Structure 1
């Protein structure tokens, strides 16, 4: 068992959070969780040794480090507002969501006024790695706060990079997602063009796979496009679209042109405007929407 004085709270035990929380409690940290809509993850975590709280305020009163793994900045801001009455000076909020860094910095100022710290620690990879404890994590935090949260993060992340100060983790995450979602847009358009000119997906894949243009993201993307596995990469179209809007916002604040980022965002906007279901459609399914936009079934 891990020897620690820290008491961990976890809010947002969805696709990613469930596996992360599982690793925290199984590797010896005392863990408190709270239910949202789906009770199954709560019941699983309680069976592994976690404690269920009745409210976010109760989580705040009983924990010294509280992880958030939510959809985006509006949900994070709402959760912190609900936590605030119970937060104690010296406690730490760790935001693992992909959030808008300008909001992260504003929240940091609000929390500092009551003696509460914040770290941004967004993730890379998929629910499979969350369950295995092998996620990538990029952290924005003051040095002493990073030292406190790093042992807990290490229960679910194999690669941890301390990027810099508050907000830098979220900035790096947006850059990371711009690249990965840019790949998705490129693959989708290339596959549509390939089919239009008479090259089947299987033949396309024979050339790319194992060559210089191959990568892990390509392989999970093609798990759907080639093999039909709808759950090959479980990251929703709606979250992807949200992240790309955050990329544009960050670029706007930095006065950077977004020729590529906006084009990628618009590829996902096509999917969202044509029936993309946030709960059931994942990033590799973008290939279907781009195909249909080009008259391909």
Structure 2
């Protein structure tokens, strides 16, 4: 099957998925998708030329490559089970969620039994880059499957790295998120200390910004603290906690001690447990929860 013949299904048109799907339509790919709870993204995509599926089984029957952009491993497993009756041999499922590698391996094996290929292709960057078509993508797939899906992924990604075999993409994504969420926990605690010892946040930022400790994540993270932009980085605290639980599980399975990773996970667990799990609070809001835990009003 050539690139020109591919028909695309897309499940999960949320914060990241809508922009990714938009780019697929704009690059000329026939796209079938469906709504979950919010129909607005679906209506936007249909207006651009996408087709609405009646069900996941219907979407599967229309698609040669199916992208999943979901919350995590349980959601991916549930969707794959619902797609299964409509899947045809030769189809590829590409899981762009931040998944759990053991679940990825199990789903890939189940799909192989019915002649369906599986790849994990989690994402880097934010909904802004999803809309612009410049996401990072780290792919776990066999060589032939990677070569088949790469030009399609290029519709919404600016950087595509073939990490290795199936599951390697999800492993690398967890390492990537450990770094970014670890930065968030460190920044949050440093800002609490700064407030307690009398260093204004603007002064703190004037030292860090442009120095060796500066980076792109720091800049988006500080968009809320400095400017009050609640949507500076739209990645929820509850998703951060979920990802750190996956990191911890991967490390446990590999026999690696997690002194730092477990501490980062606990920072997010504290925030979610004290009101940050309602879906409206994002990773850059973590300093508020760390400050409150220390009796500091920000």
- Matched with 2:162 is 162
Aligned residues: 296
Q: For 1:84-99, list aligned pairs within 5 A.
A: 84-99=84-99
2-structure distance, mates of 1:17, 1:207? 36
2-structure distance, mates of 1:24, 1:181? 29
- Matched with 1:197 is 197
- Matched with 2:267 is 267
Give the SS at the match of 2:88.
coil
2-structure distance, mates of 1:217, 1:12? 25
Q: Please report how far the alpha carbon of residue 68 of structure 1 lies from its aligned counterpart in structure 2 after TM superposition.
A: 0.2
User: Do the aligned residues in 2 keep the contact of 1:239 with 1:278 (CA within 8 Å)?
Assistant: no
- Matched with 1:242 is 242
- Matched with 1:232 is 232
1-structure distance, mates of 2:252, 2:87? 34
User: Do the aligned residues in 1 keep the contact of 2:34 with 2:52 (CA within 8 Å)?
Assistant: yes
Q: For 1:2-17, list aligned pairs within 5 A.
A: 4-17=4-17
Asked whether 1:252 is paired with 2:265, we answer no
Provide TM-score, normalisation by structure 1. 0.99
1-structure distance, mates of 2:36, 2:264? 32
User: Structure 1, residues 10-64: CA drift from partner, whole Å, max 9, x if none?
Assistant: 0000000000000001001110001111000111001111000010000010100
Give the SS at the match of 1:189.
helix
2-structure distance, mates of 1:125, 1:291? 27
Give the SS at the match of 2:267.
helix
Asked whether 1:54 is paired with 2:57, we answer no
- Matched with 2:75 is 75
Give the SS at the match of 1:29.
coil
- Matched with 2:176 is 176
User: Structure 1, residues 94-130: CA drift from partner, whole Å, max 9, x if none?
Assistant: 0000000000000111110000000000001000000
2-structure distance, mates of 1:165, 1:278? 36
- Matched with 1:283 is 283
Q: Please report how far the alpha carbon of residue 277 of structure 1 lies from its aligned counterpart in structure 2 after TM superposition.
A: 3.0
- Mark the runs of 5 or more structure 2 residues left unpaired by the alignment: none
Give the SS at the match of 1:129.
helix
Structure 2 CA distance for partners of 1:139 and 1:3, relative to 1, 3 Å: closer
2-structure distance, mates of 1:109, 1:222? 42
2-structure distance, mates of 1:92, 1:279? 31
- Matched with 1:23 is 23
Give the SS at the match of 2:60.
helix
Structure 2 CA distance for partners of 1:230 and 1:122, relative to 1, 3 Å: same
Q: Please report how far the alpha carbon of residue 3 of structure 1 lies from its aligned counterpart in structure 2 after TM superposition.
A: 6.5
User: Do the aligned residues in 2 keep the contact of 1:87 with 1:116 (CA within 8 Å)?
Assistant: yes
Give the SS at the match of 1:158.
strand
1-structure distance, mates of 2:133, 2:293? 39
- Matched with 2:149 is 149
User: Do the aligned residues in 2 keep the contact of 1:17 with 1:130 (CA within 8 Å)?
Assistant: yes
User: Structure 1, residues 130-150: CA drift from partner, whole Å, max 9, x if none?
Assistant: 000000000000010001111
2-structure distance, mates of 1:147, 1:161? 12
Provide TM-score, normalisation by structure 2. 0.98
User: Do the aligned residues in 2 keep the contact of 1:18 with 1:131 (CA within 8 Å)?
Assistant: yes
User: Do the aligned residues in 2 keep the contact of 1:67 with 1:93 (CA within 8 Å)?
Assistant: yes
Q: CA RMSD in A?
A: 0.9
Give the SS at the match of 2:97.
coil
